[in-house]
């Protein structure tokens, strides 16, 4: 490319510097965007961790309640069985008299 009157080496370097400065500004904007996204994800991760901890706690409580309910139902079933057995024995004694 032939050099014109206004294409001195100093002007070419100035143009190159201007383009590089523009490129740096674009890259800095992208870096800021990435940093913002990273900060957003850190906050989201913290929120998700809190939700997960809460969910685990509720699951543990639900399991405990389920175990208690199962135990109560087993005792009730046993009592019903014993009650039926006693009722049948009483009824048999009553009929035999």
pLDDT digits (tens, 9 = 90+) for 3-39: 555 679 999 999 999 999 999 999 999 999 999 999 9
60 vs 63: CA distance, rounded Å: 5
Q: Quote the pLDDT of residue 12.
A: 93
| Max CA separation in the chain (angstroms) | 135
**Phi-psi label, residue 42: left if phi above 0, alpha if psi -120 to 50, beta otherwise:** alpha
Residue 90, token pair as written in the block: 């009483």
- C-alpha pair distances (Å), 74 with each of 58, 77, 83, 84: 24, 5, 14, 15
pLDDT digits (tens, 9 = 90+) for 33-46: 999 999 999 999 99
pLDDT digits (tens, 9 = 90+) for 51-88: 999 999 999 999 999 999 999 999 999 998 888 777 66
Q: pTM for the whole thing?
A: 0.54
């Amino acid at each position: 490319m032939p050099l014109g009157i206004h294409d001195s080496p100093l002007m070419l370097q100035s143009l190159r510097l201007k383009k590089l400065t523009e490129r740096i500004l674009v890259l800095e904007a992208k870096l800021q965007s990435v940093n913002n996204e990273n900060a957003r994800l850190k906050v989201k991760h913290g929120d998700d961790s809190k939700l997960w901890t809460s969910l685990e706690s509720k699951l543990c409580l639900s399991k405990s309640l389920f175990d208690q309910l199962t135990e109560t139902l087993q005792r009730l079933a046993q009592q019903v069985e014993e009650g039926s057995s006693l009722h049948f024995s009483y009824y048999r004694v009553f009929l035999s008299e």
